[in-house]
Amino acid sequence: MDNLADFTPEELKEYFAVLGEPGYRAAQVFSWIHRGVPSFSQMTNLPKALRARLAEVSTPCGAEIFESFHSEIDETVKYLIKLEDGNFVESVRMSYHHGATVCLSTQVGCRMGCGFCASTIGGLVRPLSPGEMVAQVALVSAAGEEPVSNIVLMGIGEPLDNYDNVLKFIRLVNDETGLNIGQRHISVSTCGLVDGIDRLAGEDLGITLCISLHAAEDEKRNQIMPVNRRYPLGGLIPACRRYVDRTRRRIIFEYALIRNFNDTEEDAEKLSRLLRGMICHVNLIPVNPVRERDFQRSTRAAWFCKQLERRNISATVRRELGSDIDASCGQLRRRRMEKEKEDCL
C-alpha cells in the first residue's frame, strides 16, 4: 500500500494522473497530509468516490498517535507513534519562547549501540520512510495548540544511517505548499558518521548539524560509542571542520555529562583543545538515567560549562524537559516493547 506522505507534490501529480484524476488533486491531498489529517474520509474537498478509492490502495501518512504522555512539570508532551506495520517510534513536543519544537525518530530502533541510549537496545528494526517522518511532524503539530515551527532529528535512530530518506524528508517539510518549515529551523543530529557528514556538506542545506560527541578522547568515546572505533576523533573532528568551512554554518556538539567519567577539569581542557578555532557551540546535557544502563548523571553541569567558557568555548547547559515522562530517547518505546512481551507470556 502506497504511503502518500512519501510523495512530493510532483510525484503526487503523476500518481493521480495514473488514477485518471486532475493534477490539482495532488495539491489538495498534499495539503491535507501536511495538516496532520490521518484519514482520506476527512479530506472533504475530495469526491467521496475518490476518497474510497484512495483508501483501498494507499494511506495518507502510515502512522497514528497511539498514546500521549503530558508532563506535569512543563508543557512537554511525548507521543508513542504506531506505524502501519505495528512498529512503534517516539516523538516529543517541546515548548520554547520561540515556538513549538518536535523531536522525531528516523528509524525503528538503532544499530549504533551508544551505551547511554535506550533507543539502541534491541538493535535496528528498519529505517523510516520520508512519509513516516513527515507524519510525526504533522500529527504532533495538529495535536497541539500552536503549529510546530522547529524540528530536531534527535529521536530514535541515527539520521545519517537513513541518509536518502532523511534528505527527502527535509525537502518535503520545507515545501511551501505543505508544512513550510524553514531549513534553518531544522536540526540533524549524528553520532559521527564521517561519510554522511561530508556528503551532507555538499547538499547546500541551511540546517543545523549536531554531533553527539560525549567524550574528547578516543579511549573514553570507545567505551560509550562503538561508532568511534570506525570513525575516531582523528577523522570526525576534521570532517566537522570541513563541514563548517564549506557551509559556513555553526556546528552544535552535544556532550552528555556522566558522573566521574567525562565531567572533570581535565575533560574540559581536552574538549576545549579539540574544538578550538571551530565555529561551534557545546550543548551540555546531564545524562538521562536509563534503567538498563549504569550511567549516573553528573551534578557538575554548570561548573563544567564555566570551565569551557573560561577557555573561550561557547557552551550552555540544556534546559531539561519532560523528565517525569521518560522523555529521553527510546525509553517510552522500550516500555511498550516490554509490555507486549509480558502480554504474550
Q: Are 151 and 137 in contact (CB under 8 A)?
A: yes
* Cell numbers representing residue 315 in the block: 557552551
Considering the candidates 90, 132, 158, 254, report the single residue annotated as catalytic: 90
- The residue type found at 66 is F
9-18 vs 24-34: helix crossing angle, rounded to 10: 130
Strand 77-83, strand 148-153: pairing: unpaired
Query: What SS3 state is found at 102?
Result: strand
Cβ 51 vs Cβ 41: under 8 Å? yes
Ranges of beta strands (E only) in the chain are 2-3, 58-59, 63-70, 77-83, 88-96, 99-104, 107-109, 124-127, 148-153, 186-190, 208-212, 251-257, 280-286, 315-317
Decide: 215 and 224 in contact? Cβ < 8 Å. yes
Contact 231, 213 (CB under 8 A): no
**Does residue 329 have an active-site annotation?**
yes
Q: 24: which 3 cell numbers? A: 490539482
Asked about 90 being catalytic, the answer comes back as yes
CA dist., res. 53 & res. 55, Å (int): 5
State the catalytic residue, choosing from 61, 110, 240, 329.
329
Phi, psi of 259 (to 5 degrees): -55, 130
- Produce one character per residue of 30-43: b if its CB has 16 or more CB atoms within 10 Å, e if not: bebbbebbbebeeb
List, as one string, the DSSP characters of 19-56: TT--THHHHHHHHHHHTT---GGG-TTS-HHHHHHHHH
Neighbours of 80 (CB within 10 A): 17
Residue positions annotated with a catalytic role:
90, 329
